[in-house]
Structure 1
Amino acid sequence: MPAGPAVAVAVTFVWLGMVLAISFLEAPLKFRAPDVTVRIGLGIGRLVFRALNTVEVVLALALVVVAALGAPPATAVVAGAVAIVALLAQLGVVRPRLTRRSDAVLAGGEAPRSRGHLGYVALEIVKVAALVVTGVALFTT
């Protein structure tokens, strides 16, 4: 496998692994730890997801650059684009709403339960599926 496609495969599966580890392991488990209050969990979650999303943007840009320099299969391009669009929707639409709610809770106020988390999780599932398809399509060419 030439360097370009190998880098694309690596970037895709690193991104996938990070999303699975943070979104589907760390995030739900932190609230089960002893003495972790909602306020502490939200504070930790904001830091962790800000870092994750920053790395995701870098990985998405790397994927775009590698794709622009090579000739990836159409399946990989479409699936990769779906993952990137899901990330952009999370950052531009869902995260601002979640931030407003967590700001209120962290400031000591009350905030109603948010359905934004369900939207974020749905987009994470879409992103995971898209990254799996992207990685497999890149790996098998």
Structure 2
Amino acid sequence: MNHWTAVAGAAVFVWLGMVLAISFLEAPLKFRAPGVTIALGLGIGRLVFRALNICEAVLAVIIAVALALGTAGPGVLAAVLVAAAALVIQVLGVRPALTRRSDAVLADPTQAESGRSHAHYVYVVLEVVKVVALLSSGVLLLNI
């Protein structure tokens, strides 16, 4: 393993850890904390996921540069492309719908009683796709 491959592997696992910690731990738990209202939780979620998506984009660029300068097989490239594509779909395709939904809930809290939006489920599925892709690419990078 050369140092560029090691950089790519490290960035992949940092990205994976961030997604697991924020999407599958912080996000569901924040609404269970005492005193956290729907409005407060949505506000926190917007900030946290905006920051997460920026970090993910930076990590994706670092990974792309490291892979371009290092050695990686087609499996690694495919897995990283899947993770990056899922991120792009989330940011450009799903987050605007989630923003509209949270705007509606903030304007009329009774909107929250109808449950989660379809876009929320799509976002979660894409998070699972990212986790699988990042885990796959990380394992493949460890084996180079």
CA contact under 8 A between 1:43 and 1:106: conserved in structure 2?
no
Describe the SS at the equivalent of 1:32.
Answer: coil
Residues 1-141 of structure 1 aligned to structure 2 (within 5 Å): 1-108=1-108, 110-111=110-111, 112-113=114-115, 114-141=117-144
Q: Which segments of structure 1 move beyond 6 Å, counting only runs of 4 or more?
A: none
Tell me the TM-score normalized by structure 1. 0.95
Please list every run of 5 or more consecutive structure 1 residues that lacks an aligned counterpart in the other structure. none
Question: Counterpart amino acid of 1:97?
Answer: A
Q: In the comparison of the two structures, how many residue pairs are matched?
A: 141
Q: Distance in 1 between matches of 2:52 and 2:107?
A: 23
In structure 2, stretches of 5+ residues that fail to align are none
Farther-moved stretch of structure 1 (103-112 vs 90-99): 103-112
CA contact (8 A) 1:76 1:138 kept: yes
Does the residue aligned with 1:33 lie in a helix, a strand or coil?
coil
Contact 2:72 2:141 in 1 (8 A): yes
TM-score scaled by structure 2?
A: 0.93
Alignment RMSD: 1.2
Looking at structure 2, the residues matched to 4 and 95 of structure 1 have their Cα atoms a distance apart, in angstroms, of 32
